[in-house]
A and B are shown apart, each in its own frame.
Chain A
Amino acid sequence: MSAAVNNTSRNQGLALRRAIISNIGWVACGLGLLLVIGPLLDIVGVVVFHGISAFSIKLFTTTTNGTAGGLLNAIEGTLVISLGAMLIAVPIGVGAGIYLAEYGTNKLGSAIRFLSDVLTGTPSIVLGYFSYIVFVTTLGWNFSILAAAITIAILIVPYLARITEIALRQVPNTMREAGFALGASEPGVVFKIVLPGAVSGVVTGALLALAISVGETAPLIYTAGWSNYLWNGQLTNSPIGYLTYVIWTFIDQPDSQSHALAFAAALLVMLVVLAINVGVRLLVRRTKLV
C-alpha cells in the first residue's frame, strides 16, 4: 500500500517536473525568437529615426563635399552600378536558368549547379579583390563603373540562375508537350509558353538580385573607388560614389553632420532593400509561385 502511495507521489513529482521543464523550454524558445527579431526592429528603428532627421531637399539635389553636402552623386552611382550589373547579369542568369530547368537534368547540369553554388558561397570581398587585380590594375581600367558593375554581376548571376530555374520548373510539363504537339520549335516553347508562365518568378529573382546589388559594399571598395562628383559618362578610368560607401566611412568621422549623412544613406538603402523583399514575399505568398 505504502509503496503504491510512494509511487503515485513520485509520479506526480515527475509529471510536475516535466511540466515545469516544458514551460521553461517554451519560454526560452520564445526568448530566442524575440532576440532574433528584436535587433532587426531596433536596426530599422535606429536607421529610420536618425535617417529621417537628416532628410532634406538638399540631400537629393547636391553632391557630397568632403563629409558634408548631399548624396546626389552617391544615389546616382548606386543606381548606375546596380542597373549596369543587372544589364550584364539578367541575360546570363536567366539564360543559365532556362538551360538548367529545361535541359539541365544531366551530369553537366548538376556540375554547373554545383559550381554556381560555390560561386554563391564565395565571400564578396574575394570577388572584389579578383576584379581589382584583373580589371582595375592589370587591364588598367582603374576604379570605374564597368569594373564595379561586372563584379556585382558575377555576384548576382548565380542567384538569378537558381531562382529562374525554380520558377521555370513550376510550369507543368503538359504545357510544354502541348506546345510541341502544336508544332512549336524549342525556342518557341521556351519564350512563348514556359517563360510567360513563369514570368512572375523570373521578375522576383531579378528584383531580389537588385536588392542585393544595392546593399553590397565589399566588392565595390576595390572596384568603384569613390568620387564627390556626378558620373561623367565614362565607363572606365573614372571612380564613382555609391551609398554604402557613405555609410561605412562617414560613421567613422567625428562630426555629427557626417553621421547624419551616413544614416540618411542607410535609410535609403534599407528602404529599397526592404521594399523589394517585403513586396516580393507578400506577392509570392499570394500567388504561391516560388
Chain B
Amino acid sequence: MKIRPFRLFLLALSLLIPAALCAVVLFLFTYAGQAILFNGLGFLSRITWNLGNLYGDPVTVNGIQVPQGANYGILVFIAGTLASSFISILIAVPLSVGAAIFLAEAVPELERNRPRWMPPVRPALSMLVELVAVVPSVVFGLWGVAVLVPFIGKYLAPSGSGYGLLSASIVLALMITPIIATTLLDSLMQVAKENRESAFALGATHFEVVSKVMLPMVRTTLIGGIVLALGRALGETMAVLMVSGGAINILPTSIFSPVSTIASFIVSQLDSAESDPTNMAVRSLAEIALVLFIITLAVNATAKLLTSGALNVRSRK
C-alpha cells in the first residue's frame, strides 16, 4: 500500500478527538480510583455528603487515607438531577411541540395572504427559536436570578424563596425547548406531501392532519429529540447552580425545595474540596464527574439510535 503522508497527517489530527475523549475518561477513572474503592456502591445510595474532620489526623480505612468521619454519598444530587431534568422535559415538550407545529403549518397558512411588501415571517421566527439555544447558560441563570426567582418567591412558593427545584426546571426547560422544537420542525417539513394531501382528501381538518397524520409519522424523531434534550438538561451546570438553591444532605420534598444537581454540586464544592489534605474529596468529585459522564453518555447514545433509526420518514420530493 502506498503511504500518503498528507492523509496520515490529517488522520492524526482527527484522531486527537477520540484521544481527548479517552484521556478524559481514563484520567477521571484513575484519579477517582481510590474514591471508588473507598465509597463502594453505597456512593450512589447514601444521602450524606460529609467531608469529615479536615483538621484532625486522617484515618486509614482499608489502606486508604481519609479524613475522620468522611462520608460521601450522592443520592441527593442524583435525585436533584433526575427531578429537575424530568420536570423540565414535562414543561418543554408541550411548548416545543406546539411551537414546531405552529412554525411548520400555521405560519405558512397565515402568511399566504400577506401583502407583497412584507417579507416572510417564518425564517425570522425559526431563527428566534434557534437563538434561544445559543444564549449562554450563565445568562439564563442571571435572568433566573433577576426575574424568575423573585416571581416564584413572591407568588408561588409557600416559603417565600424562589430558589429551588421549580426555578431550576423552568430555566432548564427554556434552554432545551429549541433542541426539541428544531428537531421536530425539520422532520415535520420532511413528511411526504402525499401523506398530507391524502389526509386532507379524506376530509380531515388542517389540525387533524398535523396531529393525527404528521405527528405519528415523525414520532421516533421527536422522541430522539426529547432524549437529546434530556442529555443536555442532565449536564447543564451554571443556570441550575444559580437558581436551584444548592441543597446538601436533604432530599427534595416538594417542587419548591432547594436542590443540587450533580453538575452544579461539582462547581459549588471547589473551595471546600481543595482544603482536604488527603485529597479524598477531590477524588470523590472525580467519581461524581464520572457518574455524570456515564449517565449523559447513555442518554445521548439512546438519542442517537433513535434519531438515526430506520423508522425515519422519507424526505419530501
Contact = CB atoms under 8 A, between A and B. Distances in A.
A116 interface: yes
Contact of B296 (A40, A122, A190): A122
Nearest to B136: A215
Nearest to B10: A99
B137 interface: yes
B282 interface: yes
Given A161-B14, A270-B135, A36 B95 contact: yes
Interface string B15-57: 1111011011001100100000000000000000000000000
Interface string A112-128: 10111111011111110
> How would you classify the secondary structure of chain B's contact residues: helix, strand, loop or mixed?
helix
Interface stretch (B67-75, B173-181, B192-200, B247-255): B173-181
Given A217-B238, A274-B131, A28 B98 contact: yes
Interface stretch (B58-66, B152-160, B203-211, B217-225): B203-211
B22 to A, nearest CB: 8
B24 A92 contact: no
B311 interface: no
B6 A124 contact: no
Contact of A217 (B11, B27, B138, B145): B138
A221 B270 contact: yes
Interface stretch (A14-22, A57-65, A229-237): A14-22
B293 A126 contact: yes
Given A26-B106, A29-B101, A217-B137, A121 B205 contact: no
A262 interface: yes
A102 to B, nearest CB: 8
A36 B181 contact: yes
Nearest to A121: B300
Contacts of B132: 36-37, 39-40
A113 to B, nearest CB: 9
Nearest to B291: A126
A130 B143 contact: no
Contacts of B128: 37, 40
B14 A100 contact: yes
Contacts of B78: none
B112 interface: no
B162 interface: no
Interface residues of A, number: 86
B289 A126 contact: yes
B142 to A, nearest CB: 5
Contacts of A123: 234-237, 263, 292-293, 296
Given A22-B207, A25-B207, A30-B98, A248 B138 contact: yes
A186 B236 CA distance: 42
A158 B207 CA distance: 40
B77 interface: no
A74 to B, nearest CB: 13
B141 to A, nearest CB: 6
Contact of A96 (B16, B235, B297): B16
A273 B101 CA distance: 28
A269 interface: yes
B72 to A, nearest CB: 15
Describe A's contact surface by its main secondary structure. Answer: helix
B103 interface: yes
Interface stretch (A1-9, A42-50, A169-177, A197-205): A42-50
B164 to A, nearest CB: 16
A222 B146 CA distance: 25
B181 A161 contact: no
B80 interface: no
A103 B139 contact: no
Nearest to B14: A96
A98 B10 contact: yes
A277 B17 contact: no
Contacts of B94: 32
B136 A217 contact: yes
A32 B28 contact: no
Given A96-B14, A266-B142, A36 B177 contact: yes
Given A19-B205, A125-B266, A39 B13 contact: no
A68 B217 CA distance: 56
Nearest to A127: B24
B90 interface: no
A104 B14 CA distance: 10
A136 B227 CA distance: 34
B238 to A, nearest CB: 5
A211 interface: yes
Nearest to A109: B14
Contact of A157 (B16, B31, B207, B293): B16
Interface in B106-162: 106, 123, 125, 127-132, 134-143, 145-147
B17 A46 contact: no
A216 interface: yes
Contact of B15 (A102, A112, A185): A112
Contacts of A215: 134-139
A278 interface: yes
29 contacts: A25-B210, A26-B207, A32-B95, A32-B97, A32-B101, A32-B102, A40-B132, A46-B147, A95-B13, A96-B14, A99-B7, A99-B11, A99-B13, A103-B10, A123-B263, A130-B28, A187-B6, A215-B136, A215-B139, A218-B267, A222-B267, A222-B270, A244-B238, A251-B242, A266-B142, A270-B135, A273-B135, A277-B130, A277-B134
